[in-house]
Amino acid sequence: MATITTSPPLLAKTAKRPFLSAAARRDLRDGLLFTSPFILGVLLLWVGPMLYSLYLVAHDWNMITPPEFVGMKNFTRVLADPLVRKSLVNTAYYTFGGVPLQLLVAFGLAVMLNQNVRGLGIYRTVYYLPSITPAVAFAVVWIQILNPEFGVLNNVLSWVGLGPINWLFNPAWSKPAFILMSLWLTGFQMIIFLAGLQGVPKELQEAAEIDGANVWRRFLSVTIPIISPIIFFNLIIGIIGSFQVFTSAFIMTKGGPQDSTLFMVLYIYRNAFELFKMGYAAALAWILFIIIMFFTAIQFFFANRWVYYEGKR
Amino acid sequence: MSIATTQPVLPPTARSSRKRRARLSYLLLHVVMILLGITFLVPLAWVASTSLKLPGQVFVTPIEWIPAAPQWSNYQEVFGRLPFHLFIRNSFYVSFLGTLGSVLSSITVAFGLSRIRWPGRDLVFTVLLTTMMLPGVVTMIPVFIMFKNIGWIGTFYPLWVPAWFGFAFYIFLMRQYMLTLPLELDEAAKIDGASNFRILWQVIAPLCGPAIATVTIFSFLQHYNAFMEPLIYISDNEMFTLPLGLLWFQGRFGNFWHLVMAASMITIIPVIVLFFVAQRYFVQGAQFAGLTGR
């Protein structure tokens, strides 16, 4: 009752002063219009497919006979599938073993490039170049580099009396081989770090020097906090990317030997496009999605403990 | 530095020994960086060198880095065995359309996110940042089924049409750049009665050269290097892009290392040429990416 009596004056009030002026209305219209490709894209390529995927998860479908409703069965199958555990472990190994090393290499290179060296452009080019080679070419080339008998890597290792290592043919060495390979692709992260390092204000460094801080102290107490948002960014992007490793394993090992390089996305691909178990593959994709989002959320949660944002203090 | 070298040798004071130490560490830094540089270049050097060898030379140790008689005919042989000219054409076709879409859509959307004020803009921007961090694996299967339902399997559409909706990273990059342009530009044009549409294409877009170049290069690379999408959507051999063609070649002629490396070089060379022509924008793109963290 009360609402009825109070609503007419409210309506009258809004009618008197329109919600938006003509210019503001035009801006709203144009804003929506200009961003509409992206909004449409999000609906068509993200929201719609994710909802559809939820439908798939509850069905068995080989893309020939009609989908059959199975409820939560695809998830109980996941629990009983030893290859899921295996591929999750492999993926975690590659991610948590690889990403810290990649960041360390990228950061080390950036710090060296930041020392005002002569020939900076040349060094930067050399370190960056491998990371832009097409993934397939990179994988095809590395099949031969890692060849136990004739590959360059074992050739070089033999100079210092190491090896030969059966890289891609030994389950114990296949994942380290993949991690090693990934270090050649750190150029992009290196440039991001370098940009960050170059943005560290000189005055801060000098002030710390006057206060008697040595090189290490300045590095730890000035440089690292200032570029911590960039470390954070590289960490997030690196982990999301590594969890979805696919191409090199698909081309170089097909998941072998003994499933030691069967990574999650490769297993999803197999279920979807080789075995045509669409529902099961969608369930696996959701599990990986949730795992990645979980680790991303954890990082954001702990970010305010170590990531320093200028002006937000 | 130059003063120190022209002056007569000073007695070894603390200062000069410190200088010597600084120079020594500078030298050491160069040595380390050169060694690392060689390490980074070995794979590429190896591809290039193997691609020019005779089959018999490939497995000779120690490795002959510069073949005495480079076999340029290896490249000819690659083209003779599989239709690489078609793969090149397909790759460039898809990369061109995808890049065009990426550039046009990122300019348009970025304008709406940076130079027009409207309620809901921050929400769209938040969604944009979120999609940058969503793992694409979750949409792979449903998007495939969607494209199958509209009859796009076996066509090039799935490889380039999505770019026309705008990828979050490129939009973000373009927006960051547009935010650096003074707002007076728009206001002056508005006083002259220009619509937002005209402001975008006649005032703002012409000033976005560096950002457009960066998006162009990254988008070209993305489409040119793409593997998963062509793998899923293309099955006709004549429609293969270079990555698929190279994989096919590796599968059929994997034992002929010199030919596989020549085929790899054919795939890599366009990227390297692009890199050397437009290195500035490669670096710029990575720098922009870092801004996401700010």
The nearest alpha carbon in chain B to A265 belongs to: B137
**Distance of alpha carbon A92 from the chain centroid:** 13
Tens digit of pLDDT for each residue in B129-155? 999 888 989 999 999 999 999 999 999
- Could you give the CA distance from residue A196 to residue A190 in angstroms, rounded to a whole number? 10
pLDDT at B68: 84
| Cross-chain residue pair B260–A273, CB shorter than 8 Å | no
Residue A15 reports pLDDT greater than 60: no
- Could you give the CA distance from residue B129 to residue B171 in angstroms, rounded to a whole number? 10
The structure's pTM equals 0.88
Tens digit of pLDDT for each residue in A201-232? 888 888 888 888 888 888 888 888 888 888 99
| Cross-chain residue pair A140–B250, CB shorter than 8 Å | yes
Average pLDDT on B225-238 reads: 94
Which residues are CB-contacts of A160 (< 8 A; sequence separation ≥ 6)? none
Output the CA angle B5-B7-B10, nearest 5 degrees: 100
- Could you give the CA distance from residue B130 to residue B119 in angstroms, rounded to a whole number? 19
Q: Which stretch of A106-110, A194-198, B247-251 has the lowest confidence by average pLDDT?
A: A194-198
* Main-chain dihedrals φ then ψ at residue A85, nearest 5 degrees: -60, -45
Peptide bond into A67 cis (omega under 30): no
Mutation for testing the B interface, residue in A87, A127, A141 having most B CBs under 10 Å: A141
Residue for token digits 């006057």?
A210
With beta carbons under 8 A apart, name residues in chain A contacting B148. Answer: 63
Average pLDDT on B220-228 reads: 94
**Distance of alpha carbon A250 from the chain centroid:** 18
Residue A16 reports pLDDT greater than 80: no
Confidence band, pLDDT 50/70/90 cuts, at residue B11: low
Q: What residue type is A206 in one-letter code?
A: E
Residue B265 reports pLDDT greater than 50: yes
pLDDT at A206: 84
- Could you give the CA distance from residue A134 to residue B69 in angstroms, rounded to a whole number? 28
Confidence band, pLDDT 50/70/90 cuts, at residue A310: low
- CB count within 10 Å of CB A28 equals 18
Over A264-298, what HEC string results? Answer: HHHHHHHHHHHCCCHHHHHHHHHHHHHHHHHHHHH
Tens digit of pLDDT for each residue in B14-59? 667 778 888 888 889 999 999 999 999 999 999 999 999 988 888 8
Mutation for testing the A interface, residue in B41, B118, B171 having most A CBs under 10 Å: B118
* Two structure tokens written together for B26: 């500078």
pLDDT at A313: 40
Q: Which residues pair with A192 in a beta bridge?
A: none
Q: Which residues pair with A68 in a beta bridge?
A: A60
- Could you give the CA distance from residue B242 to residue B98 in angstroms, rounded to a whole number? 16
Q: Tell me the count of A-B CB pairs closer than 8 A.
A: 260
Query: Average per-residue pLDDT in chain A?
Result: 88
DSSP at A58? T
Peptide bond into A164 cis (omega under 30): yes
Q: Which residues pair with A59 in a beta bridge?
A: A69
- Closest-CA distance, B225 to chain A, in angstroms, reads 5
pLDDT at B291: 61
* Two structure tokens written together for B196: 């937002």
CATH architecture of B82-291: Orthogonal Bundle (1.10)
pLDDT at A221: 85
- Closest-CA distance, A9 to chain B, in angstroms, reads 25
Q: Using an 8 Å Cβ cutoff, are A109 and B36 in contact?
A: yes
Tens digit of pLDDT for each residue in B198-215? 999 999 999 998 899 999
Mutation for testing the A interface, residue in B33, B131, B132 having most A CBs under 10 Å: B33
Over chain B, what HEC string results? Answer: CHHHHHCCCCCCCHHHHHHHHHHHHHHHHHHHHHHHHHHHHHHHHHHHHHCCCCHHHCCCCCCCCCCCCCCCHHHHHHHHHCCHHHHHHHHHHHHHHHHHHHHHHHHHHHHHHHCCCCCCHHHHHHHHHHHHHCCCHHHHHHHHHHHHHCCCCCCCHHHHHHHHHCCHHHHHHHHHHHHCCCCHHHHHHHHCCCCHHHHHHHHHHHHCHHHHHHHHHHHHHHHHHCCHHHHHHCCCHHHCCHHHHHHHHHHHHCCCHHHHHHHHHHHHHHHHHHHHHCHHHHHHHHHHHHHCCC
- Could you give the CA distance from residue B108 to residue A289 in angstroms, rounded to a whole number? 30
Query: Average per-residue pLDDT in chain B?
Result: 89
With beta carbons under 8 A apart, name residues in chain A contacting B164. Answer: 37
Q: What residue type is B224 in one-letter code?
A: Y
Confidence band, pLDDT 50/70/90 cuts, at residue B246: very high
Tens digit of pLDDT for each residue in B69-96? 888 999 999 999 999 999 999 999 999 9
| Cross-chain residue pair A127–B293, CB shorter than 8 Å | no
pLDDT at A152: 86
Tens digit of pLDDT for each residue in A56-81? 999 999 988 888 899 899 999 999 99
Residue for token digits 């596989």?
B260
**Domain A76-306 superfamily per CATH:** MetI-like (1.10.3720.10)
The domain segmentation of chain A, as residue ranges, is 21-50, 76-306
- CATH 1.10.3720.10 positions along chain B are 82-291
Q: Using an 8 Å Cβ cutoff, are B57 and B66 in contact?
A: no
